Amino acid sequence: MARPAPETRRRRRRMVATQLAARALRDRRALAAMAWVPREWFVPPALAADAYDDAPLPIGDGQTISQPYVVALMTACVAPRRRDRVLEIGTGSGYQTAVLARLAGMVFTVERLPDLLVEAEDRFRRLGLTNIRTRLGDGAEGWVEYAPFDGILVTAAVPQVPAPLTEQLALGGRLVVPIGDLAAQELVILRRTAGGVEERRAGGVRFVPLISRLAFSELPRR
Ligand code: SAH
């Protein structure tokens, strides 16, 4: 498990240097995790040659695996420590989950589409990542049995933060979420402190929408 896919290590190192470090991403732990996870395992086989492109890619069911820079940026915003419990909403390919699992104590991830979840679980097994729990359902509800979380990532767009997620954030915990409309969002980082919730912003992004009664009311939910 220490060194998966050594044949693509050079492509990963180049990705880290040219797409992440070159854009002033300095979080060494996030960069190390990005240099470890074989991204070509998380894209459809026909797109393996494009796996390290500076772009999101389709993964089926109308969904996408995020651009490497966005995965690294969200990881750095949450900055998971070795004992942290992290919740991810929108497992998708499982790529972001795998990056988090290299850094956190335990990762909890929720996906609404069963086909995607089954494929992601298979990748976690093949990579020997045993600190991941998965659930099929509406991630906007969080995962109350395992709350509170030191970090929460929402990897789908929402018009506002779903209330259960803020409620499940531990003291000192960081929540990263793309907030906006269907066309464009801004990455918002909330941090729970003794005095309340601090907010900062980390730039524009484009995610597929979260499908939930707690998200965009104009979208069908099935
Ligand atoms: N983190 C993913 C990117 C996922 S794209 C990756 O690295 O590949 C967004 C994902 O959110 C899609 O897989 C979509 O099916 C899922 N999703 C949409 N609405 C959801 C909801 N209410 N609960 C859980 N997952 C949801």
Q: What is the mean pLDDT of the chain?
A: 95
The Å distance, Cα 210 to ligand 1 centre, comes to 7
C-alpha to C-alpha distance for 124 and 108, rounded to whole angstroms? 13
How confident is the model over 53-63, as pLDDT tens digits? 999 999 998 99
Q: What are phi and psi of 207, to 5 degrees?
A: -120, 160
E strand or H helix at 135, and its extent?
strand 132-136
Dig out the tokens for 20 from the structure: 């992440």
Dihedral of alpha carbons 146, 151, 154, 159, sign? positive
C-alpha to C-alpha distance for 14 and 219, rounded to whole angstroms? 39
Q: Which atom of ligand 1 is nearest to the CA of 93?
A: 8
For 115, the domain range is: 6-205
C-alpha to C-alpha distance for 188 and 200, rounded to whole angstroms? 6
Q: Is residue 188 part of a domain?
A: yes
The pLDDT of residue 102? 98
Q: Is residue 212 part of a domain?
A: no
pTM over 0.85: yes
C-alpha to C-alpha distance for 149 and 168, rounded to whole angstroms? 6
The residues annotated with a catalytic role in the active site are 66
How confident is the model over 7-63, as pLDDT tens digits? 899 999 999 999 999 999 999 999 999 999 999 999 999 999 999 999 999 999 899
In this structure, what CATH number is given to the domain that contains residue 71? 3.40.50.150
- The more confidently predicted of residues 221 and 29 is 29
Angle at 218 between CA 118 and CA 174, to 5 degrees: 60
Q: Show Cβ contacts of residue 221 under 8 Å, excluding neighbours closer than 6 positions.
A: 211, 212, 213
Dig out the tokens for 184 from the structure: 């464009």
Q: Is residue 187 part of a domain?
A: yes
Q: In this structure, are strands 106-111 and 85-89 parallel, antiparallel, or unpaired?
A: parallel
Number of domains in the chain: 1
| Residue in 39, 43, 211 to alter for ligand 1 test, most ligand atoms within 8 A of Cβ | 211
Q: Which residues does ligand 1 sit against, CB inside 6 Å?
A: 63-66, 89-90, 92-93, 95-96, 110-113, 116, 138-140, 155-156, 208, 210-212
Q: Is residue 171 part of a domain?
A: yes
Q: Is residue 127 part of a domain?
A: yes
Q: Is residue 222 part of a domain?
A: no
Identify the burial level of 191 via C-beta atoms within 10 angstroms of its C-beta, where 0-12 means exposed, 13-18 middle and 19 or more buried.
Answer: middle
Q: Is residue 41 part of a domain?
A: yes
Q: Is residue 210 part of a domain?
A: no
